[in-house]
Chain A
Amino acid sequence: MSAFSDSGLWTTLANASLYQSTLREATPLSLAAVGAVISERSGVVNIAMEGMMLTGAFFAVFADVHLHNAALGLVAAMAAGGIMAGIHGYSAVWLRANQIVSGMAINLLALGLTSYLAFSVYGTNGPPVPCVPPVPCSGNQVRTIPDWSIPGLNGIPGIGKVFFQQNPIFYLMLVLVILIQIFLFRTTLGLRVRAAGEHPRAADTAGIHVLRLRFLSVLPSGILSGLAGGYLALAISGTFSDNMTSGRGFIALAAMIFGKWNPFGAFGACLLFGFGQALYDNLQNTTGPLQDYSTLVATLPYVLTIVALAGFIGKAVPPAADGIPYDPASNA
């Protein structure tokens, strides 16, 4: 025990705030990852969650400040993410573009567009600052989305803080993960989506409009990534900054693969990666020898993904037709 407490690890692990921030970190990852599951299950590779998230974050702040309403900010975030997904879906499905090239393009475009617009809209003063509740909000401040603190339950020792002092979007995310799992594996439409991604020719023969279904399946991935960006902007940071998603879209991609293209699996992987991030943040603030190695701890999600992909922790097999454009006219 003393070895643990000396390293700072034990103090960190025993602190409920570690688990609270694990769920906080896992929220945007899960939203983007389960959205991507739908897209990839339909056969459209989506590596553009990073860009869709970033676009969502910018437009969340933009709409929030202009309309003085955080909920409308979230709607704008989802719409912006959805539009980026629409561009990706259009080129990937209808134009049969290489989906990875298209995804990279969306990521770069979103990075450039949001930074460019932030500079052009907010100038050298920088993006607006968050509004802190007790003081009345002025016109150009960001209305944030405060955490819920569920009375009665939040007082439970240990888990109260972890599960019952969270952002409303966290609870929304939990519901969405369950709904998407049910949708994909327990509904006819979900079966059709999976058929389009496993064997589009057979799905087409069975009367499914593969192209339309694929295009529509890309959209939720953008909408949920946009929501994740809105969460980062309005619930976590309270503002927009250039490249503020800082790789979360790629971690969500990793989580989706780690979770074997399955909503529950992806959610589990997001918890793991969220834990990695929370551990990193907490270790940095906990005195002990491990503090010096916190940056190396942060590499764990990436290393684990490589290990998982290499088949050392069970084989990660994508949907059979994932990434292959479908051409109804070809007889291949």
Chain B
Amino acid sequence: MSLAPGSDDALERRFTYARASGLAIPVMSVLLAVLVGGVVILVAGDNPLTAYWELLKGAFGGSYNISETLVSSIPLMLTGLAVAFAFRSGLFNIGAEGQLFMGAIFSAFVGFKLNLPGIFLIPIALAAGALGGAVWGGIAGLLKAWRGAHEVITTMMLNYTAILISQYLLEASPTGTPGPMAQANVLGSPQTPPMNATLPVILPSSLVQNGRLHAGLLVALAAAVFFWFVLWRTSLGYKIRAVGLNPKAAAYGGINVGWTIALSMFIAGAFAGLGGMVSVYGVSPYALTNSFSPGYGFDAIAVALLGKTTAAGSIAAAILFGALVHGSTLMQADAGISSHLVEILQGLIIFFIGADAIVRALGRRGLVRLPAVLQREEAAA
């Protein structure tokens, strides 16, 4: 791969994984992570088999847990799509968390300000959430396009800015003045007033008792279809893919690279913003709090990488991580093993995907069957 040193795009372009076909690397990365995670559990003095069994039971044992796993995975699907979409134009969007927060803030604002029936309010809130995230993603996209500011750093800084803005809007000041968006006279952690409409639960109680699976799932699936359609069935998608594969060739071919990058970040941010909206409107307390996200936007990086930056892959990876998140809470309650095991596994999965040389080395020794693309790369090396 010959690239001028110092090319801004060299960093992303070295990351061939996104384009390689086949499931060998994602599947092997998960297996290796489970293996190494098991060693960590063992060293810490717990039984890895118990841990993984409880994790699995917690995630998929019975219809209620399956429904809860899906509830946990909905925001991850949308933030995962946000990271994956930006990846297609060659940008590493690690700002899904900030975009999620801005989407949540924008959508929560219309939710308690506008006293409308759900049929009007929900679409407005969806638009507001998408806009909030899109603005936040768009800032990074525009700065990259116009000023060459590296999106990894700008989106990281925008994450912290968005989280602090949310804190400012909700938390009472040291003098006791409630935050500008906070509901007065609420005990416990501050929150906005409840939304005037919510996303309906989509599973009948005859199927799942007390099930919380809400229509946000449909929003996420629609977003995934939109992701695929824009990328593969529109000229914008063609431009985004061209810029992601080779910005210089794309520019030579007459594509406005800067504008394409900015638009891709705008759309990516909108996905994450929708994630914020469904988090506010889909689950109790149906209001914006400071703790609504356990890091959906950060987990999204693992989701997008594991999902090979495709729409369907991101949905599948989000369900896996949703299962880890929900399963681990039950694992901690039942087996007394810390739910932070999830972050260890996520970290390891990302590590093995990044260090795909490890899986390739296993392939060379005949321990793993590599997909044809990787076999050719190995043969050429």
CB of B346 within 8 Å of the partner chain:
yes
Interface string of A100-128 (1 = CB under 8 A from B): 11101111111111011101110000000
Bound form: Cα–Cα A257–B152 in Å: 12
Kindly state the interface size class of chain B when it binds its partner. 35 or more
Rounded to whole Å, the gap between the CB of B160 and the closest CB of chain A is 5
Please tell me if the beta carbons of A104 and B345 are within 8 angstroms of each other in the complex: no
By beta carbon, the residue of chain A nearest B298 is: A108
Contacts A100-B92, A310-B143; A295 near B157 (Cβ below 8 A): no
Bound form: Cα–Cα A98–B301 in Å: 13
Rounded to whole Å, the gap between the CB of A325 and the closest CB of chain B is 6
Please tell me if the beta carbons of B168 and A295 are within 8 angstroms of each other in the complex: yes
Chain B residues contacting A309 (CB-CB under 8 Å) are 143, 147, 149-150, 153-154
Bound form: Cα–Cα A214–B177 in Å: 52
CB of A146 within 8 Å of the partner chain:
no
Please tell me if the beta carbons of B357 and A96 are within 8 angstroms of each other in the complex: yes
Contact partner of B355 among A95, A111, A201, A250, CB < 8 A? A95
Chain B residues contacting A111 (CB-CB under 8 Å) are 340, 343, 347
Rounded to whole Å, the gap between the CB of B198 and the closest CB of chain A is 28
Of A132-140, A152-160, A161-169, A300-308, the segment with at least 4 beta carbons within 8 Å of chain B is A300-308
Kindly state the interface size class of chain A when it binds its partner. 35 or more
Number of A-B contacts (CB under 8 A): 180
Please tell me if the beta carbons of A292 and B177 are within 8 angstroms of each other in the complex: yes
CB of A83 within 8 Å of the partner chain:
no
Please tell me if the beta carbons of A95 and B358 are within 8 angstroms of each other in the complex: yes
CB of B175 within 8 Å of the partner chain:
yes
Bound form: Cα–Cα A38–B302 in Å: 28
By beta carbon, the residue of chain A nearest B17 is: A98
CB of A47 within 8 Å of the partner chain:
yes
Chain A residues contacting B357 (CB-CB under 8 Å) are 95-97
Contacts A120-B44, A311-B147, A320-B5; A295 near B340 (Cβ below 8 A): no
Rounded to whole Å, the gap between the CB of B357 and the closest CB of chain A is 4
Rounded to whole Å, the gap between the CB of B348 and the closest CB of chain A is 6
CB of B200 within 8 Å of the partner chain:
no
Of A198, A291, A295, most buried by chain B (CB within 10 Å of CB) is: A295
Show the binding face of B for A, using Cβ within 8 Å: 1-3, 5-6, 10-11, 14-15, 17, 40, 44-46, 92, 94, 139, 143, 146-150, 152-154, 156-158, 160-161, 164-165, 167-168, 171, 173-175, 177, 298, 301-302, 305, 337-338, 340-348, 350-351, 353-358
User: Apart from A109-B343, A311-B148, what 19 extra A-B contacts exist at CB < 8 Å?
Assistant: A96-B357, A99-B11, A105-B351, A108-B298, A112-B343, A115-B340, A116-B344, A119-B340, A250-B156, A287-B175, A292-B177, A306-B149, A309-B150, A311-B149, A312-B147, A320-B5, A321-B5, A324-B10, A325-B14
